[in-house]
Protein backbone atom coordinates (compact mmCIF):
# COMPACT_ATOMS: atom_id res chain seq x y z
CA UNK A 1 0.00 0.00 0.00
CA UNK A 2 2.76 2.35 0.88
CA UNK A 3 4.44 1.51 -2.37
CA UNK A 4 1.36 2.63 -4.17
CA UNK A 5 1.38 5.90 -2.34
CA UNK A 6 5.02 6.50 -3.02
CA UNK A 7 4.57 5.73 -6.64
CA UNK A 8 1.59 7.96 -6.99
CA UNK A 9 3.46 10.76 -5.29
CA UNK A 10 6.59 10.44 -7.36
CA UNK A 11 4.59 10.29 -10.49
CA UNK A 12 2.66 13.40 -9.64
CA UNK A 13 5.75 15.32 -8.75
CA UNK A 14 7.20 14.18 -12.01
CA UNK A 15 4.17 15.53 -13.77
CA UNK A 16 4.40 18.84 -12.06
CA UNK A 17 7.97 19.10 -13.11
CA UNK A 18 6.91 19.30 -16.67
CA UNK A 19 4.30 21.85 -16.04
CA UNK A 20 0.99 22.54 -14.63
CA UNK A 21 -1.93 24.82 -14.24
CA UNK A 22 -5.41 25.48 -15.33
CA UNK A 23 -6.44 27.80 -18.09
CA UNK A 24 -5.93 31.48 -17.61
CA UNK A 25 -8.60 33.20 -15.62
CA UNK A 26 -10.12 36.43 -16.68
CA UNK A 27 -11.99 37.66 -13.74
CA UNK A 28 -15.07 39.29 -15.11
CA UNK A 29 -18.20 37.29 -14.64
CA UNK A 30 -21.44 38.71 -15.70
CA UNK A 31 -23.93 35.94 -15.73
CA UNK A 32 -27.56 36.62 -15.56
CA UNK A 33 -28.89 33.11 -15.28
CA UNK A 34 -32.15 33.37 -17.09
CA UNK A 35 -34.69 31.37 -18.91
CA UNK A 36 -34.33 27.71 -19.48
CA UNK A 37 -32.55 26.86 -22.66
CA UNK A 38 -34.47 25.77 -25.65
CA UNK A 39 -33.80 22.23 -26.54
CA UNK A 40 -33.91 21.66 -30.20
CA UNK A 41 -37.24 21.19 -31.86
CA UNK A 42 -38.47 17.66 -32.13
CA UNK A 43 -36.50 15.38 -29.91
CA UNK A 44 -36.48 16.27 -26.27
CA UNK A 45 -34.73 13.14 -25.17
CA UNK A 46 -31.04 13.14 -24.66
CA UNK A 47 -29.18 10.79 -26.92
CA UNK A 48 -27.33 8.19 -24.97
CA UNK A 49 -23.61 8.60 -25.26
CA UNK A 50 -21.56 5.61 -24.32
CA UNK A 51 -18.87 6.68 -21.93
CA UNK A 52 -17.40 3.63 -20.24
CA UNK A 53 -14.77 5.74 -18.59
CA UNK A 54 -17.27 7.33 -16.29
CA UNK A 55 -17.97 4.12 -14.42
CA UNK A 56 -14.58 4.11 -12.82
CA UNK A 57 -14.86 7.50 -11.23
CA UNK A 58 -16.08 6.64 -7.77
CA UNK A 59 -13.64 3.79 -7.49
CA UNK A 60 -10.82 6.16 -8.13
CA UNK A 61 -12.00 8.52 -5.45
CA UNK A 62 -12.06 5.78 -2.87
CA UNK A 63 -8.65 4.57 -3.89
CA UNK A 64 -7.15 8.00 -3.59
CA UNK A 65 -8.80 8.55 -0.24
CA UNK A 66 -7.40 5.31 1.08
CA UNK A 67 -3.97 6.14 -0.18
CA UNK A 68 -4.20 9.46 1.51
CA UNK A 69 -5.12 7.99 4.85
CA UNK A 70 -2.51 5.34 4.57
CA UNK A 71 0.03 7.95 3.88
CA UNK A 72 -0.80 9.87 6.98
CA UNK A 73 -0.96 6.85 9.21
CA UNK A 74 2.43 5.85 8.08
CA UNK A 75 4.33 8.62 9.69
CA UNK A 76 6.46 7.46 12.52
CA UNK A 77 9.99 8.00 11.32
CA UNK A 78 11.26 11.37 12.34
CA UNK A 79 14.46 12.55 10.80
CA UNK A 80 14.22 16.14 9.73
CA UNK A 81 14.52 15.28 6.08
CA UNK A 82 11.84 12.69 6.35
CA UNK A 83 9.48 15.05 8.01
CA UNK A 84 10.21 17.66 5.42
CA UNK A 85 9.60 15.23 2.65
CA UNK A 86 6.50 14.00 4.34
CA UNK A 87 5.15 17.51 4.56
CA UNK A 88 5.50 17.92 0.83
CA UNK A 89 4.04 14.52 0.30
CA UNK A 90 0.98 15.50 2.26
CA UNK A 91 0.67 18.58 0.16
CA UNK A 92 0.55 16.64 -3.03
CA UNK A 93 -1.63 13.95 -1.63
CA UNK A 94 -4.01 16.68 -0.69
CA UNK A 95 -3.97 17.86 -4.24
CA UNK A 96 -4.73 14.38 -5.44
CA UNK A 97 -7.38 14.02 -2.81
CA UNK A 98 -9.09 17.12 -3.99
CA UNK A 99 -8.91 16.06 -7.59
CA UNK A 100 -10.56 12.88 -6.47
CA UNK A 101 -13.37 14.85 -4.95
CA UNK A 102 -13.70 16.76 -8.13
CA UNK A 103 -13.97 13.39 -9.71
CA UNK A 104 -17.57 12.92 -8.83
CA UNK A 105 -18.35 16.30 -10.21
CA UNK A 106 -17.47 15.36 -13.70
CA UNK A 107 -20.08 12.68 -13.61
CA UNK A 108 -22.75 14.86 -12.16
CA UNK A 109 -23.38 16.16 -15.60
CA UNK A 110 -24.35 12.70 -16.67
CA UNK A 111 -26.66 12.08 -13.76
CA UNK A 112 -28.14 15.47 -13.47
CA UNK A 113 -31.21 14.20 -11.67
CA UNK A 114 -30.11 14.10 -8.08
CA UNK A 115 -29.60 17.40 -6.46
CA UNK A 116 -29.27 16.30 -2.90
CA UNK A 117 -27.89 13.50 -0.84
CA UNK A 118 -24.41 12.72 0.26
CA UNK A 119 -22.92 14.19 -2.88
CA UNK A 120 -24.76 17.41 -2.31
CA UNK A 121 -21.66 19.50 -1.96
CA UNK A 122 -20.56 18.26 -5.30
CA UNK A 123 -23.89 18.10 -7.02
CA UNK A 124 -24.63 21.71 -6.34
CA UNK A 125 -21.69 22.51 -8.54
CA UNK A 126 -20.74 25.52 -6.52
CA UNK A 127 -17.53 26.96 -7.87
CA UNK A 128 -15.77 26.11 -4.66
CA UNK A 129 -16.23 22.42 -5.06
CA UNK A 130 -14.37 22.58 -8.34
CA UNK A 131 -11.87 25.30 -7.75
CA UNK A 132 -9.43 25.03 -4.92
CA UNK A 133 -9.34 28.26 -2.93
CA UNK A 134 -5.89 29.37 -4.07
CA UNK A 135 -4.45 30.90 -0.98
CA UNK A 136 -1.67 32.57 -2.90
CA UNK A 137 -3.53 34.86 -5.24
CA UNK A 138 -1.26 37.68 -4.18
CA UNK A 139 1.47 35.88 -6.09
CA UNK A 140 -0.38 34.04 -8.84
CA UNK A 141 -2.26 37.14 -9.96
CA UNK A 142 1.05 38.84 -10.66
CA UNK A 143 2.53 35.78 -12.35
CA UNK A 144 -0.60 35.52 -14.45
CA UNK A 145 -0.11 39.05 -15.73
CA UNK A 146 3.50 38.31 -16.50
CA UNK A 147 2.44 35.14 -18.24
CA UNK A 148 0.08 37.13 -20.44
CA UNK A 149 2.66 39.77 -21.20
CA UNK A 150 5.29 37.26 -22.22
CA UNK A 151 2.77 35.30 -24.24
CA UNK A 152 0.56 37.94 -25.88
CA UNK A 153 3.01 40.79 -26.23
CA UNK A 154 6.54 39.49 -26.20
CA UNK A 155 5.80 36.25 -27.98
CA UNK A 156 8.01 34.35 -25.58
CA UNK A 157 5.93 31.23 -25.25
CA UNK A 158 8.50 29.34 -23.29
CA UNK A 159 8.85 31.92 -20.60
CA UNK A 160 5.12 32.45 -20.58
CA UNK A 161 4.63 28.75 -20.05
CA UNK A 162 7.04 28.81 -17.14
CA UNK A 163 4.86 31.31 -15.32
CA UNK A 164 1.86 29.20 -16.20
CA UNK A 165 3.49 26.14 -14.70
CA UNK A 166 4.63 27.97 -11.60
CA UNK A 167 1.11 29.24 -11.02
CA UNK A 168 -0.34 25.81 -11.38
CA UNK A 169 1.82 24.66 -8.50
CA UNK A 170 1.32 27.73 -6.34
CA UNK A 171 -2.44 27.92 -6.67
CA UNK A 172 -2.80 24.35 -5.46
CA UNK A 173 -0.75 24.79 -2.29
CA UNK A 174 -2.94 24.17 0.76
CA UNK A 175 -1.26 26.95 2.70
CA UNK A 176 -0.51 30.61 2.22
CA UNK A 177 3.12 31.24 1.50
CA UNK A 178 4.79 33.37 4.13
CA UNK A 179 8.42 32.71 3.35
CA UNK A 180 10.48 31.83 0.32
CA UNK A 181 11.75 28.82 2.21
CA UNK A 182 8.37 27.23 1.76
CA UNK A 183 8.58 27.17 -2.01
CA UNK A 184 12.19 26.15 -2.40
CA UNK A 185 12.34 22.76 -3.99
CA UNK A 186 8.85 22.88 -5.43
CA UNK A 187 8.60 21.84 -9.07
CA UNK A 188 8.55 24.68 -11.60
CA UNK A 189 9.86 27.11 -8.98
CA UNK A 190 13.46 27.89 -9.76
CA UNK A 191 15.82 30.65 -8.77
CA UNK A 192 14.08 33.44 -10.62
CA UNK A 193 10.63 32.50 -9.35
CA UNK A 194 11.92 32.32 -5.81
CA UNK A 195 13.41 35.77 -6.06
CA UNK A 196 10.21 37.18 -7.43
CA UNK A 197 8.14 35.48 -4.76
CA UNK A 198 10.44 36.89 -2.12
CA UNK A 199 9.92 40.36 -3.52
CA UNK A 200 6.17 39.96 -3.64
CA UNK A 201 6.10 38.73 -0.07
CA UNK A 202 8.13 41.70 1.01
CA UNK A 203 6.63 44.53 -1.02
CA UNK A 204 3.36 43.16 -2.29
CA UNK A 205 4.33 43.65 -5.89
CA UNK A 206 6.76 42.75 -8.62
CA UNK A 207 9.18 45.37 -9.88
CA UNK A 208 9.36 43.54 -13.17
CA UNK A 209 5.63 43.72 -13.69
CA UNK A 210 5.54 47.35 -12.59
CA UNK A 211 8.23 48.07 -15.09
CA UNK A 212 6.24 46.43 -17.85
CA UNK A 213 3.15 48.33 -16.87
CA UNK A 214 4.91 51.64 -17.26
CA UNK A 215 5.84 50.72 -20.81
CA UNK A 216 3.08 51.89 -23.14
CA UNK A 217 4.16 49.60 -25.93
CA UNK A 218 4.03 46.53 -23.75
CA UNK A 219 0.67 47.58 -22.40
CA UNK A 220 -0.89 48.18 -25.83
CA UNK A 221 0.67 45.21 -27.58
CA UNK A 222 -0.42 43.00 -24.73
CA UNK A 223 -3.96 44.33 -25.06
CA UNK A 224 -4.05 43.68 -28.81
CA UNK A 225 -2.48 40.27 -28.43
CA UNK A 226 -5.27 39.23 -26.12
CA UNK A 227 -7.78 39.51 -28.96
CA UNK A 228 -8.68 36.17 -30.53
CA UNK A 229 -6.79 35.78 -33.78
CA UNK A 230 -4.23 38.46 -33.02
CA UNK A 231 -0.87 37.16 -31.88
CA UNK A 232 2.32 38.89 -30.76
CA UNK A 233 3.50 39.63 -34.28
CA UNK A 234 0.29 41.16 -35.54
CA UNK A 235 -0.23 43.02 -32.29
CA UNK A 236 3.14 44.65 -32.63
CA UNK A 237 2.48 45.64 -36.23
CA UNK A 238 -0.80 47.21 -35.24
CA UNK A 239 0.95 49.18 -32.54
CA UNK A 240 3.53 50.38 -35.01
CA UNK A 241 0.70 51.57 -37.22
CA UNK A 242 -0.19 53.91 -34.42
CA UNK A 243 -3.14 52.12 -32.82
CA UNK A 244 -3.48 52.53 -29.10
CA UNK A 245 -6.87 51.16 -28.14
CA UNK A 246 -9.24 48.42 -29.17
CA UNK A 247 -11.53 51.13 -30.55
CA UNK A 248 -8.75 52.20 -32.88
CA UNK A 249 -8.64 48.70 -34.33
CA UNK A 250 -12.27 48.75 -35.38
CA UNK A 251 -11.49 50.64 -38.57
CA UNK A 252 -8.39 48.63 -39.34
CA UNK A 253 -8.89 47.03 -42.73
CA UNK A 254 -5.96 44.66 -42.55
CA UNK A 255 -7.60 42.48 -39.91
CA UNK A 256 -8.80 39.07 -41.03
CA UNK A 257 -12.47 38.36 -40.63
CA UNK A 258 -11.76 36.11 -37.69
CA UNK A 259 -9.77 38.86 -36.02
CA UNK A 260 -12.60 41.29 -36.59
CA UNK A 261 -15.01 38.94 -34.86
CA UNK A 262 -12.48 38.41 -32.12
CA UNK A 263 -12.33 42.15 -31.67
CA UNK A 264 -16.06 42.78 -31.84
CA UNK A 265 -16.84 40.10 -29.29
CA UNK A 266 -13.71 40.45 -27.24
CA UNK A 267 -15.41 41.12 -23.92
CA UNK A 268 -18.05 38.49 -24.59
CA UNK A 269 -15.52 35.82 -25.33
CA UNK A 270 -13.52 36.54 -22.23
CA UNK A 271 -16.44 35.86 -19.95
CA UNK A 272 -16.54 32.45 -18.38
CA UNK A 273 -19.55 30.21 -18.84
CA UNK A 274 -21.23 28.61 -15.83
CA UNK A 275 -21.13 24.87 -15.97
CA UNK A 276 -24.88 24.36 -15.90
CA UNK A 277 -25.30 26.53 -18.98
CA UNK A 278 -22.74 24.46 -20.84
CA UNK A 279 -24.69 21.40 -19.84
CA UNK A 280 -27.80 22.91 -21.39
CA UNK A 281 -26.05 23.88 -24.59
CA UNK A 282 -24.49 20.44 -24.76
CA UNK A 283 -27.97 18.99 -24.72
CA UNK A 284 -29.02 21.35 -27.45
CA UNK A 285 -26.13 20.28 -29.66
CA UNK A 286 -26.67 16.61 -28.87
CA UNK A 287 -30.34 16.78 -29.75
CA UNK A 288 -29.64 18.67 -32.91
CA UNK A 289 -27.00 16.15 -33.94
CA UNK A 290 -29.21 13.20 -33.18
CA UNK A 291 -31.99 14.67 -35.27
CA UNK A 292 -29.64 14.81 -38.24
CA UNK A 293 -27.94 11.45 -37.87
CA UNK A 294 -29.31 9.03 -35.28
CA UNK A 295 -26.58 7.21 -33.39
CA UNK A 296 -24.13 10.05 -33.67
CA UNK A 297 -21.99 10.58 -30.58
CA UNK A 298 -21.48 14.09 -29.23
CA UNK A 299 -19.46 14.89 -26.15
CA UNK A 300 -18.43 18.21 -24.66
CA UNK A 301 -14.74 17.99 -23.78
CA UNK A 302 -12.31 20.64 -22.65
CA UNK A 303 -12.43 22.09 -19.18
CA UNK A 304 -16.10 21.18 -18.97
CA UNK A 305 -15.28 17.51 -19.14
CA UNK A 306 -12.49 18.08 -16.66
CA UNK A 307 -15.14 19.18 -14.20
CA UNK A 308 -14.56 22.89 -14.00
CA UNK A 309 -17.33 25.03 -12.53
CA UNK A 310 -16.62 27.81 -15.00
CA UNK A 311 -15.34 27.21 -18.49
CA UNK A 312 -13.86 29.56 -21.05
CA UNK A 313 -15.29 27.88 -24.12
CA UNK A 314 -16.90 24.68 -25.35
CA UNK A 315 -15.21 21.85 -27.21
CA UNK A 316 -17.45 19.30 -28.82
CA UNK A 317 -15.99 16.03 -29.99
CA UNK A 318 -18.15 14.06 -32.38
CA UNK A 319 -17.94 10.62 -33.93
CA UNK A 320 -20.17 7.84 -35.21
CA UNK A 321 -19.71 4.23 -34.12
CA UNK A 322 -20.43 2.89 -37.57
CA UNK A 323 -17.16 4.34 -38.82
CA UNK A 324 -18.63 6.08 -41.83
CA UNK A 325 -21.61 8.27 -40.97
CA UNK A 326 -19.34 10.98 -39.58
CA UNK A 327 -18.32 11.96 -43.08
CA UNK A 328 -20.04 15.12 -44.17
CA UNK A 329 -21.82 15.38 -40.87
CA UNK A 330 -20.19 18.56 -39.63
CA UNK A 331 -21.50 20.66 -42.48
CA UNK A 332 -25.04 19.54 -41.75
CA UNK A 333 -24.62 20.12 -38.05
CA UNK A 334 -23.25 23.61 -38.53
CA UNK A 335 -26.03 24.42 -40.95
CA UNK A 336 -28.72 23.34 -38.56
CA UNK A 337 -27.15 24.97 -35.52
CA UNK A 338 -27.13 28.21 -37.46
CA UNK A 339 -30.78 27.73 -38.33
CA UNK A 340 -31.44 27.38 -34.64
CA UNK A 341 -29.67 30.70 -34.17
CA UNK A 342 -27.17 28.97 -31.91
CA UNK A 343 -24.06 29.28 -34.04
CA UNK A 344 -23.55 32.88 -35.05
CA UNK A 345 -20.11 33.66 -36.52
CA UNK A 346 -17.45 31.46 -38.14
CA UNK A 347 -13.80 31.83 -37.15
CA UNK A 348 -12.03 29.01 -38.94
CA UNK A 349 -13.52 26.08 -40.75
CA UNK A 350 -11.95 22.90 -42.03
CA UNK A 351 -14.54 20.45 -43.15
CA UNK A 352 -15.64 18.08 -45.87
CA UNK A 353 -12.80 15.66 -45.59
CA UNK A 354 -13.81 12.80 -47.85
CA UNK A 355 -14.74 9.57 -46.14
CA UNK A 356 -11.80 7.60 -47.50
CA UNK A 357 -9.34 10.19 -46.24
CA UNK A 358 -10.34 9.51 -42.63
CA UNK A 359 -9.62 13.15 -41.84
CA UNK A 360 -10.89 15.30 -38.99
CA UNK A 361 -13.42 18.00 -39.74
CA UNK A 362 -13.19 21.05 -37.51
CA UNK A 363 -15.21 24.16 -36.88
CA UNK A 364 -14.19 27.11 -34.69
CA UNK A 365 -16.81 29.76 -34.17
CA UNK A 366 -19.05 31.71 -31.88
CA UNK A 367 -22.40 30.79 -30.46
CA UNK A 368 -24.94 32.20 -28.09
CA UNK A 369 -26.90 30.78 -25.23
CA UNK A 370 -30.53 30.69 -26.38
CA UNK A 371 -32.28 33.96 -25.72
CA UNK A 372 -29.13 35.93 -25.11
CA UNK A 373 -26.86 37.94 -27.37
CA UNK A 374 -23.70 37.21 -25.43
CA UNK A 375 -21.25 35.19 -27.55
CA UNK A 376 -19.21 32.18 -26.54
CA UNK A 377 -16.34 30.43 -28.22
CA UNK A 378 -17.27 27.02 -29.51
CA UNK A 379 -15.28 24.32 -31.27
CA UNK A 380 -16.72 21.32 -33.08
CA UNK A 381 -14.54 18.40 -34.14
CA UNK A 382 -15.74 15.35 -36.02
CA UNK A 383 -13.54 12.27 -35.90
CA UNK A 384 -13.67 9.04 -37.84
CA UNK A 385 -14.36 6.42 -35.23
CA UNK A 386 -10.91 4.82 -35.15
CA UNK A 387 -9.33 8.15 -34.25
CA UNK A 388 -11.91 9.13 -31.70
CA UNK A 389 -10.01 8.03 -28.59
CA UNK A 390 -7.06 10.19 -29.60
CA UNK A 391 -9.27 13.14 -30.37
CA UNK A 392 -11.05 12.78 -27.07
CA UNK A 393 -7.81 12.82 -25.12
CA UNK A 394 -6.44 15.78 -27.03
CA UNK A 395 -9.57 17.87 -26.73
CA UNK A 396 -10.15 17.03 -23.10
CA UNK A 397 -6.66 18.15 -22.19
CA UNK A 398 -5.44 19.88 -20.37
CA UNK A 399 -2.65 21.22 -22.50
CA UNK A 400 -0.05 20.17 -19.98
CA UNK A 401 -1.27 16.60 -20.02
CA UNK A 402 -1.27 16.57 -23.81
CA UNK A 403 2.32 17.72 -23.96
CA UNK A 404 3.31 15.28 -21.31
CA UNK A 405 1.69 12.37 -23.09
CA UNK A 406 3.37 13.40 -26.33
CA UNK A 407 6.76 13.63 -24.69
CA UNK A 408 6.22 10.25 -23.11
CA UNK A 409 5.18 8.83 -26.45
CA UNK A 410 8.31 10.15 -28.05
CA UNK A 411 10.45 8.63 -25.29
CA UNK A 412 8.83 5.30 -26.00
CA UNK A 413 9.42 5.50 -29.69
CA UNK A 414 6.06 6.81 -30.79
CA UNK A 415 4.56 10.00 -32.07
CA UNK A 416 1.27 11.06 -30.55
CA UNK A 417 -1.20 13.62 -31.76
CA UNK A 418 -4.95 14.01 -31.85
CA UNK A 419 -5.47 11.35 -34.42
CA UNK A 420 -3.20 8.58 -33.54
CA UNK A 421 -0.23 6.94 -31.91
CA UNK A 422 2.39 6.04 -34.47
CA UNK A 423 5.57 4.01 -34.16
CA UNK A 424 8.59 6.08 -35.13
CA UNK A 425 11.37 4.79 -37.26
CA UNK A 426 14.48 6.50 -38.55
CA UNK A 427 15.35 7.00 -42.15
CA UNK A 428 18.87 6.96 -43.56
CA UNK A 429 19.48 10.49 -42.33
CA UNK A 430 18.31 9.60 -38.87
CA UNK A 431 15.20 11.67 -39.33
CA UNK A 432 12.10 10.74 -37.43
CA UNK A 433 9.62 9.13 -39.71
CA UNK A 434 6.30 7.63 -38.82
CA UNK A 435 3.83 5.89 -41.00
CA UNK A 436 0.48 7.52 -40.47
CA UNK A 437 -1.13 4.42 -41.86
CA UNK A 438 0.27 2.06 -39.26
CA UNK A 439 -0.94 3.69 -36.10
CA UNK A 440 -1.61 1.77 -32.91
CA UNK A 441 -5.25 0.84 -32.72
CA UNK A 442 -7.01 2.20 -29.66
CA UNK A 443 -10.75 2.43 -29.29
CA UNK A 444 -10.81 3.95 -25.81
CA UNK A 445 -8.81 6.55 -23.96
CA UNK A 446 -7.76 3.93 -21.46
CA UNK A 447 -6.11 1.87 -24.17
CA UNK A 448 -4.01 4.88 -25.12
CA UNK A 449 -2.96 5.48 -21.52
CA UNK A 450 -2.16 1.77 -21.16
CA UNK A 451 -0.15 1.66 -24.32
CA UNK A 452 1.95 4.53 -23.02
CA UNK A 453 2.01 3.00 -19.53
CA UNK A 454 0.74 6.26 -18.15
CA UNK A 455 -1.42 5.92 -15.00
CA UNK A 456 -5.07 6.27 -15.87
CA UNK A 457 -6.63 9.62 -15.09
CA UNK A 458 -10.31 10.37 -14.95
CA UNK A 459 -11.20 13.45 -16.95
CA UNK A 460 -11.53 15.41 -13.73
CA UNK A 461 -8.03 14.36 -12.72
CA UNK A 462 -6.51 15.93 -15.78
CA UNK A 463 -6.26 19.47 -14.46
CA UNK A 464 -2.53 19.25 -14.14
Using CB under 7 A, list all residues that contact DNA. Answer: 17, 23, 155, 158-159, 161-163, 165-166, 187-194, 208, 225, 227-235, 256-258, 262, 301-303, 306, 312-313, 315, 348-350, 360, 362, 364, 377, 379, 394-399, 402-403, 406-407, 409-410, 415-419, 422, 433-436
We find the least distance from the C-beta atom of residue 69 to DNA, in angstroms, to be: 29
Partnered with residue 82 across adjacent β-strands are: none
Partnered with residue 187 across adjacent β-strands are: none
We find the least distance from the C-beta atom of residue 359 to DNA, in angstroms, to be: 7
We find the least distance from the C-beta atom of residue 193 to DNA, in angstroms, to be: 3
- Please say which residue, 71 or 315, places its beta carbon nearer to DNA: 315
- Please say which residue, 40 or 452, places its beta carbon nearer to DNA: 452
- Please say which residue, 57 or 397, places its beta carbon nearer to DNA: 397
Does residue 318 contact residue 383 with C-beta atoms inside 8 Å? yes
Give the count of alpha carbons within 13 A of 355, CB side only: 9
We find the least distance from the C-beta atom of residue 373 to DNA, in angstroms, to be: 20
Does residue 157 contact residue 234 with C-beta atoms inside 8 Å? no
In a 10 Å sphere around its CB, with 0-12 CB exposed, 13-18 middle and 19+ buried, how is residue 417 labelled?
Answer: middle
We find the least distance from the C-beta atom of residue 181 to DNA, in angstroms, to be: 15
We find the least distance from the C-beta atom of residue 74 to DNA, in angstroms, to be: 25
We find the least distance from the C-beta atom of residue 132 to DNA, in angstroms, to be: 18
Is residue 423 classed as helix, strand or coil in its secondary structure? Answer: strand
Does residue 51 contact residue 299 with C-beta atoms inside 8 Å? yes
The DSSP call for residue 319 is E
Which helix (H) or strand (E) segment holds residue 142: the answer is helix 137-148
- Please say which residue, 8 or 68, places its beta carbon nearer to DNA: 8
- Please say which residue, 317 or 337, places its beta carbon nearer to DNA: 317
Who's near 221: CB < 8 A, 6+ residues apart? 152, 153, 232, 235, 236, 239
Beta-carbon count within 10 A of 208 CB: 15
For the sheet containing 297-300, what is the strand order?
297-300, 313-319, 375-383, 361-368, 343-350
| Distance in angstroms (rounded) separating the CA atoms of residues 84 and 67 | 19
- Please say which residue, 194 or 293, places its beta carbon nearer to DNA: 194
| Distance in angstroms (rounded) separating the CA atoms of residues 421 and 434 | 10
- Please say which residue, 59 or 441, places its beta carbon nearer to DNA: 441
| Distance in angstroms (rounded) separating the CA atoms of residues 338 and 328 | 16
Nearest to 160 by CA among 174, 152, 150: 150
We find the least distance from the C-beta atom of residue 115 to DNA, in angstroms, to be: 27
We find the least distance from the C-beta atom of residue 198 to DNA, in angstroms, to be: 12
We find the least distance from the C-beta atom of residue 116 to DNA, in angstroms, to be: 31
We find the least distance from the C-beta atom of residue 131 to DNA, in angstroms, to be: 16
Does residue 354 contact residue 346 with C-beta atoms inside 8 Å? no
Is residue 165 classed as helix, strand or coil in its secondary structure? Answer: helix
- Please say which residue, 83 or 192, places its beta carbon nearer to DNA: 192
Beta-carbon count within 10 A of 164 CB: 26
- Please say which residue, 101 or 377, places its beta carbon nearer to DNA: 377
Who's near 272: CB < 8 A, 6+ residues apart? 25, 26, 29, 310, 311, 312
| Distance in angstroms (rounded) separating the CA atoms of residues 179 and 159 | 24
Does residue 243 contact residue 229 with C-beta atoms inside 8 Å? no
- Please say which residue, 123 or 405, places its beta carbon nearer to DNA: 405
- Please say which residue, 208 or 338, places its beta carbon nearer to DNA: 208
Amino acid sequence: MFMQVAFKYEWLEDCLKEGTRLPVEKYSLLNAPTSAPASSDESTHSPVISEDEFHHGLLSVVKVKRSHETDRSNEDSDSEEDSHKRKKEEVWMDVIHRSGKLGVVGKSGMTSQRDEGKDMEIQTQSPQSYTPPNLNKNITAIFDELKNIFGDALGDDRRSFSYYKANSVLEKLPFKITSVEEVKGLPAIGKSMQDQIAEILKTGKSSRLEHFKEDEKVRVVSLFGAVWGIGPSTAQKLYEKGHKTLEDLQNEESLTSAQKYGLRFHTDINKKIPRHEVQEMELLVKNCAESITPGISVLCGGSYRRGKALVGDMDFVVTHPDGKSHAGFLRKLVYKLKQLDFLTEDLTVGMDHPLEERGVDTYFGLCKYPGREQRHRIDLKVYPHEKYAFGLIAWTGNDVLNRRLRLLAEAKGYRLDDHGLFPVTRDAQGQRVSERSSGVLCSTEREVFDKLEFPWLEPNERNL
